[in-house]
Chain A
Amino acid sequence: MLFTAKLAAARATATATRLSRAGGGTTLPGKLLLRMEPDAIGRLAGRLTSTTVISATNGKTTTAKMAAAVLEADGRRLCRNAGGANLTSGVASALLAAGRGEEGLFEVDEAALPAVVDALRPGQLVLGNLFRDQLDRYGELELIGDRWRSMVSAPGFGATVIHNVDDPLVASIGAAAPAAITFGLEDDGAARTTMQHAADSKWCPRCGTRLVYEAVYLGHLGRWRCPACRLERPRPEVRATAVRADGLEATEFRLELPRGDVDVRLPIPGLYNVYNALAAAAACVAHGVSPAVIGGGLERFSAAFGRFERITLSGRPAVLLLVKNPAGTNEVIRTLAADARPKTLLLALNDRIADGRDVSWIWDVDFEELVEQVDSVVATGTRAAEMALRLKYAGVSPARIAVEPQLGHALDALGGEDDAPAYLLATYTAMLDLRGLLEQRGLVRPYWEAA
């Protein structure tokens, strides 16, 4: 079969999936295409004018959406895997829909990254962070780090590596790349006094000595140095300073760029989203976008599906929050805890393959920080009872915890009388199911449209 015929066959699958409402056609068409033509990604990528790839443990989808907001404001047309399908099949599916003159902007799973980079040959590669995540699926953090390091130091690797120097492991990988742009936070006001329990990469990536932190911003991200071999975090070229949270509405900061500074009001809370904005801004610096357009694009950005997505649930405001690993969940909790009002929570814990079969990670999350603010909790999902148990040992009275394994029942159990927002935290497949239910109730749009 000719390549064009294979493309037509795969495109027909995408249309059929959408028409049957079985899903967004974000994975299957690419999977079929790659089976017919293993080199399809490389062949299709040649049609794009440039390609940017974004990877990280946490923040891939949000960073890609922020970068898209800026690049589109700059007048570019993009080919993206906006539905969050970030394995080779998802990238191939997105490429099927690529038009002439478009630029590629893809988020890629951290384990799939070396293979995708090898096929796509991007001009820009954004490396955000590496946190402990789903050990049953990804293996240990160091293994992913080693694969990334081999990838950027391989002969023929030609991307500019845009990377977060506040993460010691990512900084050491970026330093091995032939060309780089660095980003990081410079704000002692945003620093924590102590390192969180889930902090992972506390040891010097060069000599293994315990690192010294002058400031810890988030997990193991901060201003670090090695007391033994003198390796230290370099001063980043793209920086956020004077970070100020406006409740749970927005975050304001000064964005310092090589071509000038700009004040940004990012319409989403959380220090982790400042990191996502820095990653997106640094990627746009690599594309030659002006500071004013970068700032303007970030201000007009709206949350990706399930990432601080605001909805109305039987008359009451609610916020959807995807959670998947200790570091990301800790930042969600830290952000919510900054608003001291009593809270109604729905916590949905599934243990399907995409969530990680191993649910140990919830015990590394600092739910203790929210205990004082918890008014009532509904625990739901395949591991609802386990979630409830975690909260019991965090100090929430079992009388305040309802266990409703069925998501629909859990939504109903939330009640709708209150003016105070309900916070719905869900693991990946639980979030998809939850959105499916909300979609049936006419409260959200399908994820492949909303993204």
Chain B
Amino acid sequence: MKLRVCHLYPEHLNIYADRGNMAVLTHRCEWRGISCRIDGCGPGDPLPEADLYYLGGGQDRDQRLIAPDLLLRAGDLAAAVAGGAAVLGVCGGYQLLGHVYRGHQGDEMPGIGLVDLETTAGPTRMIGNVVLRCELEPGRRRTLVGFENHAGRTRLGRGLSPLGQVVHGHGNNGEDGGEGVRDGRVVGTYVHGPLLPKNPWLADWLIQTALEHRKGHVELEPLDDTLEREAQRVAEALAAR
């Protein structure tokens, strides 16, 4: 079995240790005998065929630099998702999955509209530890931990579910108690830290969802997550202090 990951704009969108997310996907596949190939895709490069597309966060300037290139790929990405591929967007990458990002000076940066959400810059940054309660499948409640640092206030379209409910932290906009978005096989979130090392269940959910795109039902072998669980427990306790 093989997981094909496309890391979009790794040179531009990598500000919050997005490499950690790639390392977790690679190792958790390899430890199970699944090979994992990560292809970077920069501005102007052909879009690789993949099971999982990853879009990280960047400095404002870098995000402005890649935004026009990303717009040209909106149709291809929508087609990939319709064909069963999964998508993970983090921080700036999450915002770009939506319709638009409105900056402080009223400037507008269009996103690819893959998910029905939009973001408006607020007067202050929302910074700190985050704890979420998630339930991606009915009855399977999970904890997600990490760190957020964003000025954008994101609002989801009617009928869309957040990735989780905020226990500690600000979440999408500091008001409605939701954080991130989950729309079928597309996940977006402000949580970094990076996202996947301390939340191995989400890493495995993404791996499984992405693999099932071509393989039908896939069962992943369980791994020894002692350290992962301990890091998550500590992060949850520190967020509550």
Binding site for B on A (CB under 8 A): 132, 135-136, 139-142, 197, 202-203, 208, 351, 357-364, 382-386, 388-390, 392-394, 398, 401, 403, 405
Contacts and interface: CB of A to CB of B under 8 A. Distances in A.
A388 B227 contact: yes
A208 B65 contact: yes
24 contacts: A132-B15, A142-B60, A202-B11, A357-B128, A357-B147, A358-B147, A358-B193, A362-B17, A363-B23, A363-B197, A364-B20, A383-B238, A385-B227, A385-B230, A385-B231, A386-B231, A389-B198, A393-B20, A393-B23, A398-B224, A398-B226, A398-B227, A401-B227, A405-B234
B127 A136 contact: yes
A294 B27 CA distance: 50
Interface string B191-216: 01110011000000000000000000
Prevailing SS type, chain A contact patch = helix
A389 B227 contact: yes
B65 to A, nearest CB: 7
B198 A383 contact: no
Contact of A142 (B16, B17, B59, B230): B59
B235 interface: yes
Contacts of B11: 202
B175 to A, nearest CB: 22
Contact of A383 (B16, B192, B228, B234): B234
Nearest to A202: B11
B104 interface: no
Nearest to B24: A393
B149 interface: yes
Interface of B: 11, 14-17, 19-20, 23-24, 27, 59-62, 65, 125, 127-129, 147, 149, 192-194, 197-198, 224, 226-228, 230-231, 233-235, 238
B238 A382 contact: yes
A389 B193 CA distance: 12
B40 to A, nearest CB: 12
A363 B235 CA distance: 16
A363 B147 contact: no
Given A363-B23, A393-B24, A358 B149 contact: yes
B59 A140 contact: yes
B61 A357 contact: no
Contacts of A361: 17
Contacts of B149: 135-136, 358
Contacts of B127: 136, 357-358
A136 B128 CA distance: 8
Contacts of B235: 383, 386
Contacts of B17: 360-364
A364 B192 CA distance: 13
A362 B14 CA distance: 13
Given A136-B147, A364-B20, 17 more contacts: A135-B15, A135-B16, A135-B149, A136-B149, A141-B59, A358-B149, A360-B147, A360-B194, A363-B17, A363-B197, A383-B234, A383-B235, A385-B231, A386-B197, A389-B227, A393-B20, A405-B234
The 9 A-B residue pairs whose C-beta atoms are closest, nearest first, are: A363-B20, A363-B17, A385-B231, A385-B230, A360-B17, A386-B231, A358-B147, A140-B59, A389-B231
A135 B16 CA distance: 9
Contact of A386 (B15, B27, B60, B234): B234
A360 B227 contact: no
Contacts of A382: 234, 238
Choose among A363, A385, A389, A398 the residue with the greatest number of B CB atoms under 10 Å from its CB: A363
B234 A142 contact: no
Contacts of A359: 147, 193
A383 B192 CA distance: 15
Nearest to B193: A360
A140 B129 contact: no
Nearest to A365: B17
Nearest to B231: A385
Choose among B19, B61, B227 the residue with the greatest number of A CB atoms under 10 Å from its CB: B227
B198 to A, nearest CB: 7
